[in-house]
Amino acid sequence: MADITISLPDGSQRTLPAGATATTLAQSIGSRLAKAAVAAVVNGAEADLGAPLPDGATVAIITADSDEGRHVLRHSTAHVMAQAVTRLFPGAKYSIGPAINDGFYYDFELPGGRTFTEADLATIEAEMAAIVKADQPFERAELPAAEALEVFAAQPYKREIIERVSTGAADSEDAGEIGSGETISVYRNTPEFVDLCRGPHVPSTGRLGHFKLMKVAGAYWRGNEKGPMLQRIYGTAWDTKAALEEHLHRMEEAEKRDHRKLAVELDLLSFPSQLGGGLAVWHPKGALVRKLMEDYSRQRHIDGDYQFVFTPHLANANLFQTSGHLDFYKDGMYPPMEMDNGTYYPKPMNCPMHCLIFDSRQRSYRELPLRLFELGTVYRYERAGTLHGLMRIRGFTQDDSHIYCREDQLQDEIASLLDFVMSVLRAFGFDEFTANLSTKDPQKYVGDDDIWDRATAALQAALEKYGLAYKVKEGDAAFYGPKIDIDVKDAIGRTWQLSTIQCDFNLPERFALEYVGADGNRHRPIMLHRALFGSVERFFGVLLEHYAGAFPTWLAPVQARVLPVAEGHQAYAEQVLARLAKEGLRADLVEATDQLGRRIRTAKMEKIPYVLVVGDDDVAAGTLGVNPRGGEVERGVAVDAFVQRVHDEVAAQLAMA
RNA sequence: GCCCAGAUAGCUCAGUCGGCAGAGCAUUUCACUCGUAAUGAAAAGGUCGAGGGUUCGAUUCCCUCUCUGGGCUCCA
């Protein structure tokens, strides 16, 4: 038999006997590689390790510790879960089971409408472990559609996919299940379980094992709200036990940082059920932090040449008719109020009102760019199931700005906006940013192609000038104009979409906004929508999770707590407190009715940046014992030195901007 | 809106196979006066989310609603 020649990614070549597989190849390179291998890339396409290699192929081995490798592990684990479910629940229908970030899911329909319980997860996990132990091979087969339909005679969801594929109606949702082409590929592990799948898979189930089933949820078949509701089981799967444990640990950490939990623990705000869903009340400490955020934002806007405006919470329906919100967005608006002189709605947005301000008198080109700013509270009817703490809420405040400018000012304005946005976000402790540029949806847009092109180019040029990494999302723009969204990465690596800069060619048209140009003629301005926090409430929630409740000194509701060691030190403690207050520090005092250790513990749990202990030595010397958050205790610190230190620290935190 | 799971003291939770409701922490009071993450004792604290049904009797079983959590869908 003739040998075959295989090229490796580094350009080198290997000669193997005909019929050799990627497994053979990996073994010939090294036993470590063979052990880590889960699949291969053959001539650019992912393939099973066990598939015979064609002569002259370029082959790369996919190892379990790569993103692609984990993807294969997760997908294979999803198959094992489906097999376990069909064993435990005879008659279960399985639909799709892709790999996702950190894991996988699989959707099922159980006979008689039975649903999975939490307890079922443990049973399924145990069955999966048995399948892994049995080390069943994953065997690939390719079948004509007619035969595949027979194989899946009892599986209507699989049949539906096969039918869609064979009639050419497959879409991206089917892609994980099935490749394109005439034949349908299936994977079989033991005669009892077969699944429709494009692959690749690990050679056998014994290669798997570091997984955990996480939760049960409902999910629509093909994401269609009108379609049947299936039962989805989510799991996580990793290449090593350590990686799995690390992931579970990360999940726990994220849970500890949950802003809803921290908001209660730190007495910042609450969502009383009497108030109604998705509505929050701010307690004094939360309100104080919010005020600090807002004050900082206001000052930056003053420095940035913004003009402050205020607009009411209600508006006549005519306004939203003009703006188009009643046509496009009525479902997201609260129901109308009928009053003697018309119909009124709570505002879902501030922009129409800002347009009225622009339009209140004749505008000159000399006034542009005109930057209007408002911390504007809006009300949106979010569907009950979508509410989520501060992240998705029904009444919230936007740090909303609308900038009216000439087209020739667009690029500079966007570039300076980008600078402004990032500078403000840095002051709040974010330093990793990425952006998305959303471009025209050719099916749905208003305005000339020409202006879309120029505005998109302006956004892109601004991103490049700023040197910000960005992705282009083709066709993702709103109908009224292209936009930039800015994501930040938080302390535990999660990304949050916060700021947005959007061009709008629609509202100036609808409100017939005009300015008088240098040429004496009337021109239509371009409008930019811009929010930095997005929603003050949501931004507060993100900050709370980012800092795990330990706000930096400049934002902490209480910056320092004075603790007299014993009652005899109360008078001196009060003097210290008065001094701190005079210096503009936010400090409080807890009397010595409890033991010192206990009071320190309470202060630490409240995540106060500085605990100041004063006793005999301090009374005598006019000093403090300083116990900083996350630091070592320092004795005998002069009060002046402490005040200076806090001032310097706050200044340094804000200088990050 | 849809699927699933919940709602018991301020918080975290246990419990009642249908018969007077429990713990820890927090709160209040008393004692202790203490130098860096929990001193001790006592008291007080509940329409068992709301409404309806079944029952001699419902916090417990059933129904509806409200709110919450996990998802799905949605987010101009």
Is the confidence at residue A175, as pLDDT, over 60?
no
Q: What is the structure's pLDDT at A400?
A: 95
CB neighbour burial string for A589-621, b if at least 16 within 10 angstroms, e if fewer: bbebeeebeebbeebeebbbbbbbbbbeebbee
Instruction: Judge whether residue A230 contacts strand B, using its CB and a 7 Å cut-off.
Output: no
Q: What is the structure's pLDDT at A172?
A: 53
Residues of chain A with CATH 3.30.980.10: 68-248
Q: Against a cut of 0.90, is the pTM above it?
A: no
The 10s digit of each residue's pLDDT in A223-232 is 887 778 888 9
Residue closest to A478 by CA, chosen among A420, A410, A416, A529: A529
The 10s digit of each residue's pLDDT in A341-393 is 799 999 999 999 999 999 999 999 999 999 999 999 999 988 888 888 899 88
Instruction: Judge whether residue A647 contacts strand B, using its CB and a 7 Å cut-off.
Output: no
Average pLDDT over residues A264-293: 89
**For residue A325, which nucleotide's C1' is closest to its Cα?**
B76
Euclidean distance between CA atoms A299 and A391, whole angstroms? 25
Instruction: Judge whether residue A357 contacts strand B, using its CB and a 7 Å cut-off.
Output: no
* Domain A560-655 CATH (choose: 3.40.50.800, 3.30.56.10, 1.10.8.60, 3.20.20.70): 3.40.50.800
Band of residue A249 on the pLDDT scale cut at 50, 70, 90: confident
HEC string for A358-382: HCCCCEEHHHCCEEEEEEEEEECCC
Is the confidence at residue A278, as pLDDT, over 90?
no
Residue closest to A159 by CA, chosen among A114, A96, A218, A113: A96
Task: Give the residue with greater pLDDT, A352 vs A454.
Answer: A352
Residues of chain A with CATH 3.40.50.800: 560-655
Is the confidence at residue A547, as pLDDT, over 90?
yes
Euclidean distance between CA atoms A23 and A100, whole angstroms? 26
Is A448 designated active site? no
Average pLDDT over residues A559-572: 95
Select the highest-mean-pLDDT range: A45-59, A386-400, A600-614: A600-614
Residue that the structure tokens 């513990």 belong to = A601
Annotated catalytic residue: which of A198, A354, A483, A599? A483
Is A400 designated active site? yes
Q: What is the structure's pLDDT at A173?
A: 54
Which amino acid is residue A87, in one-letter code? R
Q: In the Cβ-directed half-sphere of A592, how many Cα atoms lie within 13 Å?
A: 16
Residues of chain A with CATH 3.30.930.10: 265-546
CATH 3.10.20.30 fits A4-63, yes or no: yes
Q: Which residue(s) pair with A398 in the sheet?
A: A376, A535
**For residue A598, which nucleotide's C1' is closest to its Cα?**
B38
Band of residue A176 on the pLDDT scale cut at 50, 70, 90: low
Residue closest to A637 by CA, chosen among A625, A649, A621: A625
CATH code for A265-546?
3.30.930.10
Is A212 designated active site? no
Residue closest to A459 by CA, chosen among A413, A408, A400: A413
Is A483 designated active site? yes
Band of residue A401 on the pLDDT scale cut at 50, 70, 90: very high
Is A351 designated active site? yes
Instruction: Judge whether residue A389 contacts strand B, using its CB and a 7 Å cut-off.
Output: yes
CATH code for A68-248?
3.30.980.10
Euclidean distance between CA atoms A477 and A494, whole angstroms? 24
Euclidean distance between CA atoms A503 and A410, whole angstroms? 9
Instruction: Judge whether residue A117 contacts strand B, using its CB and a 7 Å cut-off.
Output: yes
The 10s digit of each residue's pLDDT in A129-154 is 999 999 999 999 888 888 888 889 88
Q: What is the structure's pLDDT at A11?
A: 85
CA–C1' distance A283–B44 (Å)? Answer: 25
Average pLDDT, whole number, for chain A? 90
Instruction: Judge whether residue A225 contacts strand B, using its CB and a 7 Å cut-off.
Output: yes
Band of residue A446 on the pLDDT scale cut at 50, 70, 90: confident
Q: How far apart are the first and last CA of chain A?
A: 70
Residue closest to A15 by CA, chosen among A57, A73, A72: A57
Q: What is the structure's pLDDT at A238?
A: 92
Euclidean distance between CA atoms A360 and A377, whole angstroms? 22
